[in-house]
Amino acid sequence: MKVEKKFIQVNEPLLNGNEENNLIECIRSGWISSEGPFINQFEISFAEKVNRKHAIAVSNGSVALDVAIAALGISKGDEVIMPTFTIISCAAAIIRAGAIPVLVDSDPNTWNIDVSKIEEKITKRTKAIMVVHIYGLPCEMSKIIEISKTYNLKIIEDSAEMHGQTYQNNPCGSFGEISTFSFYPNKHITTGEGGMIVTDEDSIAEKCRSLKNLCFNSKQRFLHDDLGWNFRMTNLQAAVGVAQLERLDEFVKIKRKMGNTYHHLLEELDSIQIPIKSTDYAENIYWVFGVVLRQNVSFDAKTAMNKLNNLGIGTRPFFYPMHLQPVFAKMGLFKNQSYPVSENLAKRGFYLPSGLALKEQDIITCAEALKNILND
Ligand SMILES: Cc1ncc(COP(=O)(O)O)c(C=O)c1O
């Protein structure tokens, strides 16, 4: 009998807590829309977890950024500083508001925004810095906060990948005027699709609640003084979120164990760069376990990923920088701009299976496969 070798998926979530019971409760009670008790419970517990006064559940982490930008009143002609090495949602939210994304390269060690290059990008039109914590380590927040204070800039903190992470013992998601999260299934906690906006300011929270719900007039329904969106999360999604949040600390431990196992197996290799285990401000939570091929490797990430795929290992490429996106070139944005660190990360970076359901033996298999293709 031929035994089929298992394909190791790049991500598989863990849904074996109270998720099923909570979902059954939704079905039995009939609360399946965006009204229902789990929404409130999820928002309250999430706000508590990240030390914020308000949490507003939305349909995903991308629209959370759209709402954040709109709620801060960022609009036509305003500039927002952001990393080029991130997901398109960040730049898209700024551009949709009529504002201008101003890009900064990455730090070659942490892969986060290079804070030493932020100040040179500030102009009279700069209104905010969009901070994006990448792959498991937070950005250097104390320096960013100092810059934001000096130049009177708002901070929008994209914590989509940072549930359960802290910077100098304060939760990621507690640093921005507005901070946002995603609950896509590859995140530390998931709701299938989903997102959260958090803030301490009552007026900003109220604005976000209105914007995500079509800006209904509070006194007369179907009367609208502003344009909003339907970005509501459902009670079904929140039911999963409540169950997941109960296990966040456990999930962070699992991810750290995964990262440390990969480290142990790969740290001797001089042909790859792997994530930093810890800095003086945080211990990595390994949203994903990234690998960057060093210059002594004769092939790029695409080839490496193909080779690993053939060995039954799922991978994903790193982000593709904003200044190289065809859609923005068509808009005439970022012409002739070059950010070498991010370009190298895009060309030579990818990540290994990093999901919560990954077994220790899977990690060993992935590390062995990587070693094999590097020695080929
Ligand atoms: C940094 C960052 N921001 C925003 C998002 C968008 O979140 P979503 O997929 O929920 O729209 C992601 C998704 O992976 C992300 O990594």
- pLDDT, one tens digit per residue, over 157-168 is 999 999 999 999
State the pLDDT confidence band at 1, using cuts at 50, 70 and 90: low
For residue 279, pLDDT beyond 70 = yes
pLDDT at 175 exceeding the cut of 90: yes
What is the number of the ligand 1 atom nearest to the C-alpha of 63? 11
Q: What is the mean pLDDT of residues 326-340?
A: 98
pLDDT tens for 236-266 read: 999 999 999 999 999 999 999 999 999 999 9
pLDDT tens per residue across span 103-119 = 999 999 999 999 999 99
Q: What percent of the chain has pLDDT over 90?
A: 97
- pLDDT tens for residues 29-51? 999 999 999 999 999 999 999 99
Checking if the pLDDT of 303 tops 80, the result is: yes
pLDDT of residue 20: 98
Cβ atoms < 10 Å from Cβ of 307: 18
Q: Where are the beta strands (DSSP E) in the chain?
A: 54-58, 79-83, 100-104, 126-132, 154-158, 166-167, 170-171, 178-182, 195-199, 272-273, 289-293, 316-317, 349-352
Whether the pLDDT of residue 102 is over 80: the answer is yes
pLDDT > 70: percent of the chain:
99
Joined together, the tokens standing for residue 217 give: 């007039």
Ligand 1 centre and the CA of 359: distance in Å?
Answer: 25
Give the pLDDT band (50/70/90) at residue 6.
Answer: confident
pLDDT, mean over the chain: 97
pLDDT, one tens digit per residue, over 262-271 is 999 999 999 9
Q: What pLDDT shows up at residue 5?
A: 73
Mutation choice for ligand 1 from 85, 87, 90, 165, CB with most ligand atoms inside 8 A: 87
pLDDT exceeds 90 at position 53 = yes
10 Å Cβ neighbour count for 21?
10
* pLDDT at residue 340, as a whole number: 98
3-state secondary structure (DSSP) of residue 200? coil
Burial class (CB in 10 A: 0-12, 13-18, 19+), 268: exposed
Residue 295: pLDDT over 80 = yes
For residue 85, which of 114, 62, 125 has the smallest C-alpha distance? 114
Nearest CA owner, ligand 1 atom 7: 61
Nearest ligand 1 atom to the CA of 161 is 16
pTM higher than 0.85: yes
pLDDT in tens, 66-79: 999 999 999 999 99
Query: What residues does 349 pair with on adjacent strands?
Result: 292
Q: What is the DSSP letter of 8?
A: B
Distance from Cα 194 to the centre of ligand 1, integer Å? 10
What span, in angstroms and rounded, lies between the C-alpha atoms of 232 and 59? 5
Residues with CB under 6 A from ligand 1: 60-62, 86-87, 89, 132, 158, 160-161, 182, 184, 195
